DNA sequence: CTGAAAGCGCTTACAG
DNA sequence: CTGAAAGCGCTTACAG
């Protein structure tokens, strides 16, 4: 690692100008314009400077620093010393031009402020860093337009994308995937690799739980129309509820945020359902908060279930019952697959992540207080 | 904007190959190796392709696309049409090599999972995007080593950094600032521009509030030693408490997370103080949760105050009293200053952000239940 | 093992 | 207004 394009003073110490290696003083590169103006940053040294100091050709420097072993050991040693003396560090932009590779990967999140992505992010981070890539994160602010603009700007700079809960239309995703490797998370699209949770197990247990509590009807508080997971969750809920003889009432979609959940409280209560499953925890939390503010008892008058098991779900009162997905593992898997794609290695499809229902205080029998 | 390096089909449609402009068919660039293998991505077109099609020199293409008006209007029009026909888009990496500028800015967060950064991030995002820059976000995972590694990797790629609550040593920050423009947030360092909240007003009101509730002693649950804000908050608390004749007891530092707050519950309770101010909301929330689990009433037996007013602080029960900083504005300001520095414009220092105390349910008179 | 040379795709003085 | 040329800092066949 210290020998590739990340080369430089290993401990980050500045420009050690210690003893000169034998062979005369380093010739300073001629720069037009005489002495630099005060305050100007000193120009970084290049492989030409290192080559001159080590008494070899620039190509030898490139080889020595990038393919250790492919060059005479003594020469390599001399080159490394020269590089260290000059505080040389590879210019990755200059390297990217001929190679077409930057070793940077982008993780684009539909909403960077949704805590559901914390584990995902750490998972992608861990794996990609371990594989020698730098990860940058970008935010789509829950907007397809912003997301498209973002990936377009980034496409020239990064080797590939992990798109989490992309709000892009299928055609856009395909277009991007035609330009750079793409791995999806929380979205399935034929022909594009993806990591998706299987809502089934978690939803089934949630429905069983609500059913055994005596609820014969469940509301579904929908999320954004552009959300794949919204469709999956709605369908899965309908499926398992029907199988158990429980009715499902869909409640119009809203912003997938705490505010969106708050704003939906009136509609949810208006439906008169004894239980509601929200598109995600953010909405569920907003709904619970709004109920509390209106003096509506949760779970006495309304049981609430969310999705994701995000930060804060277990800290509220009542704590939120929710369907959790192991997105930490999912992120690692997505990172691994993306790197494989970038490096041109084939990778078999992966099994969907298993979800599970976590029962907490926000669900209970009807009619308590 | 559509004329600079972001040039390309405005609506993102793929490679329109409509009617050929007058002047003969576009000569296809000769590529060695004959026809491309199936599945290979088609090579992107360059200014040479556009120049050939428009019948001008590559430099004319560069000028037409980058400095509208500096070239004959009809020629420019012809060039734009050729570019559109070929679906040309500028290669920003190739442009960055001679210019040394990428128009990318990095926001490095001490911990990307701390909701305190949500507003900050959106603020930086809004301003830098408006100024024509792409923002990438990186995570330091609360580790100086990870942070240093991250900024080193990114330094060659970005035009400048916003460092939020950097855990780097002063010397490291100065070293980085010598290489690229840096703006700090939640950290002050002579010679490096920064945006910091003035803890004073918020802490004073918090102390007044606790004092008027009858508390004669306040614990301070410390955060990371590497945190500048930890020092500021501790000092400010000591100052205002002393002024009001209230004792302050420092309680050893821990991880600035919910878990860290939970883990500190024993120590806090052991001190026997009737009130505690935590380094941040994350710790305060963990502390409150741990108290609830132990059956210790908040605020009856312990009043708890946090810092930051993060997501979830108002959703818990009891809702968290806290000292809020307007980091959304701070982020905008930081973004503006960074762009100014990158573009070589001087920028006057900015006034510290005003904090304010938000009283909620986690603070109250001693000895209720 | 090593070097000379061409090339990656732009920008930008310098001439005309 | 426009073009020819040099240069940004690397990599990589191609020869020796």
SS3 A48: helix
CA B256, A107, B157, B196 torsion-angle sign: negative
Within a 10 A sphere around the Cβ of B306, how many other Cβ atoms?
A: 30
How many Å apart are CA A52 and CA A21, to the nearest integer?
A: 12
Query: Of residues B349 and B326, which shows the higher confidence score?
Result: B326
> Residue A23's pLDDT is what?
35
- Give the residue carrying structure tokens 């100008």: A17
> Residue A4's pLDDT is what?
60
Hey, which residues does A185 pair with through a beta bridge?
A: A164, A195
Set of chain A residues whose Cβ sits within 8 Å of the Cβ of B101: none
> Residue A151's pLDDT is what?
97
Preceding amide of B318 cis, omega within 30:
yes
CA B182, B188, B189, B195 torsion-angle sign: positive
**Strand C proximal residues, B:21-80, Cβ < 7 Å:** 43-44, 46-48, 58-59, 62-63, 65-66
Give the nearest chain B residue to A286 (CA atoms).
B315
CA B57, B62, B67, B68 torsion-angle sign: positive
Q: What are the tens digits of pLDDT across the range A244-271? A: 999 999 999 889 999 999 999 999 999 9
> Residue A39's pLDDT is what?
47
> Residue A368's pLDDT is what?
55
Whether B305 and B288 have beta carbons less than 8 Å apart is answered as no
Q: CA B313 → CA A289, A313, B118, B269, distances in Å?
A: 12, 12, 14, 21
Given a cut of 80, whether residue B115 has pLDDT beyond it is yes
CA B82, B83, B88, B92 torsion-angle sign: positive
| Distance from residue A84's CA to nucleotide D7's C1', rounded to whole Å | 26
Mean pLDDT of A346-369: 87
| Distance from residue A134's CA to nucleotide D8's C1', rounded to whole Å | 24
Among A145-159, A310-324, B19-33, B157-171, the range scoring the smallest mean pLDDT is: B19-33
What is the band of B40 on the pLDDT scale with cuts at 50, 70, 90?
low
- Report residue A163: phi and psi, to 5°: -105, 115
Residue B315: which of A6, A91, A285 has the nearest Cβ? A285
SS3 A133: coil
Query: Of residues A206 and A2, which shows the higher confidence score?
Result: A206
- The secondary structure element, H or E, covering residue A198 is strand A197-198
* Long-range Cβ pairs for the range A238-246 (8 Å, 24+): A239/A203, A240/A200, A240/A203, A240/A204, A240/A207, A241/A207, A244/A207, A244/A208, A244/A211, A245/A211, A245/A216, A246/A207, A246/A210, A246/A211, A246/A215, A246/A216, A246/A217, A246/A218
How many Å apart are CA A48 and CA B282, to the nearest integer?
A: 51
- The secondary structure element, H or E, covering residue A357 is strand A356-358
Hey, which residues does A249 pair with through a beta bridge?
A: A219
Q: Structure tokens of A143? A: 């907007």
- Report residue B215: phi and psi, to 5°: -80, 125
> Residue B369's pLDDT is what?
53
Q: Structure tokens of A339? A: 């790197």
Q: Is the CB of B92 under 7 A from strand C?
A: no
Average pLDDT, chain A: 89
Mean pLDDT of B269-297: 96
Given a cut of 80, whether residue A88 has pLDDT beyond it is yes
Residues 6 or more apart in contact with residue B76 via CB below 8 angstroms: B64, B68
Cβ of residue A172 closer than 8 Å to a chain B Cβ = yes
What is the percent of chain B where pLDDT is above 70? 88
Closest CA to B179 of A44, A7, A37, A9: A44
Residue ranges of A 34-73 with Cβ closer than 8 A to chain B: 41
> Residue A40's pLDDT is what?
54
> Residue B4's pLDDT is what?
60
Given a cut of 70, whether residue B175 has pLDDT beyond it is yes
SS3 content of chain B, % helix, strand, coil (to 5): 40, 15, 45
Given a cut of 50, whether residue B34 has pLDDT beyond it is no
How many Å apart are CA A121 and CA B139, to the nearest integer?
A: 9
What is the band of A3 on the pLDDT scale with cuts at 50, 70, 90?
very low
Cβ of residue B309 closer than 8 Å to a chain A Cβ = no
Q: What are the tens digits of pLDDT across the range B212-235? A: 999 999 999 999 999 999 999 999
> Residue A28's pLDDT is what?
42
What is the band of B15 on the pLDDT scale with cuts at 50, 70, 90?
very low
What is the band of A334 on the pLDDT scale with cuts at 50, 70, 90?
very high
How many Å apart are CA B242 and CA A177, to the nearest integer?
A: 62
CB pair distance less than 8 Å for B113 and A121: yes
Given a cut of 50, whether residue B265 has pLDDT beyond it is yes
In this structure, the dihedral spanned by the alpha carbons of residues B171, B172, B174 and B178, taken in order and rounded to 10 degrees, is 130
Given a cut of 60, whether residue A285 has pLDDT beyond it is yes
Q: Which nucleotide is nearest to A54 (CA to C1')?
A: C2
> Residue A27's pLDDT is what?
39
CA distance A39 to chain B (A): 10
Whether A337 and A352 have beta carbons less than 8 Å apart is answered as no
Given a cut of 50, whether residue A25 has pLDDT beyond it is no
Mean pLDDT of B243-253: 95
Residue A148: which of B12, B137, B288 has the nearest Cβ? B12
A100-129: burial string, b at 16+ Cβ within 10 Å, e else: eebbbbbbbbbbbbbbbbbbbbbbbbbbbb
SS3 B83: helix
Whether A301 and A294 have beta carbons less than 8 Å apart is answered as no
Residues 6 or more apart in contact with residue B23 via CB below 8 angstroms: B53, B55
> Residue B2's pLDDT is what?
43
Closest CA to B301 of B264, B265, B272: B272
| Distance from residue B108's CA to nucleotide D7's C1', rounded to whole Å | 33
What is the band of B5 on the pLDDT scale with cuts at 50, 70, 90?
low
Cβ of residue B168 closer than 8 Å to a chain A Cβ = no
Average pLDDT, chain B: 89
Question: Roughly what angle, to the nearest 10 degrees, separates helices B73-86 and B47-54?
Answer: 120
CB pair distance less than 8 Å for A113 and B121: yes
CA distance A88 to chain B (A): 13
Closest CA to A283 of A247, A315, A310, A248: A310
What is the band of B71 on the pLDDT scale with cuts at 50, 70, 90?
confident
Given a cut of 90, whether residue A362 has pLDDT beyond it is yes
**Residue with CA nearest C1' of nucleotide C8:** A98
> Residue B44's pLDDT is what?
87
Q: Structure tokens of B359? A: 């009283």
| Distance from residue B173's CA to nucleotide C13's C1', rounded to whole Å | 36
């Amino acid at each position: 690692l210290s020998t590739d394009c990340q080369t430089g003073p290993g401990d980050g110490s500045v420009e050690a100008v210690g003893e000169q290696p034998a062979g005369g003083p380093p010739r300073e590169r001629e720069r037009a314009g005489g002495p630099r103006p005060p305050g100007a940053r000193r120009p970084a040294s290049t492989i030409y400077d290192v080559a001159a100091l080590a008494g070899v050709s620039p190509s030898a420097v490139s080889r020595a620093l990038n393919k250790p072993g492919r060059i005479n050991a003594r020469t390599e040693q001399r080159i490394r010393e020269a590089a260290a003396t000059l505080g040389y560090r590879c210019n990755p932009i200059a390297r990217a031009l001929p190679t077409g590779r930057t070793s940077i990967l982008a993780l684009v999140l539909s909403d960077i402020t949704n805590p559901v992505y914390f584990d995902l992010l750490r998972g992608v981070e861990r794996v990609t860093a371990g594989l020698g890539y730098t990860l940058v994160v970008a935010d789509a602010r829950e907007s397809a337009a912003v997301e498209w603009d973002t990936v377009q700007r980034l496409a020239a700079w990064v080797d590939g994308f992990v798109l989490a809960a992309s709000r892009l239309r299928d055609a856009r995703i395909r277009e991007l995937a035609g330009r750079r490797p793409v791995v999806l998370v929380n979205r399935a699209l034929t022909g594009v690799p993806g990591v998706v949770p299987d809502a089934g197990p978690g939803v089934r247990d949630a429905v069983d739980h609500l059913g055994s509590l005596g609820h014969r009807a469940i509301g579904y508080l929908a999320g954004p129309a552009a959300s794949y997971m919204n469709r999956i969750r709605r369908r899965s809920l309908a499926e398992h509820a029907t199988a158990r003889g429980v009715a499902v009432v869909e409640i119009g979609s809203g912003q997938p945020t705490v505010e969106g959940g708050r704003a939906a409280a009136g509609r949810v209560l208006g439906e008169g359902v004894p239980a509601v499953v929200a598109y995600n925890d953010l909405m569920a939390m907003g709904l619970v908060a709004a109920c509390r503010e209106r003096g509506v008892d949760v779970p006495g008058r309304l049981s609430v279930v969310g999705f994701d098991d995000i930060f804060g779900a277990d800290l509220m009162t009542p704590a939120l019952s929710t369907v959790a997905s192991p997105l930490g593992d999912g992120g690692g898997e997505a990172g691994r697959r993306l790197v494989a794609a970038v490096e041109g290695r084939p990778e078999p499809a992966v099994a969907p992540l298993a979800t599970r229902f976590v029962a907490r205080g926000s669900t209970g029998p009807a009619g308590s207080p």
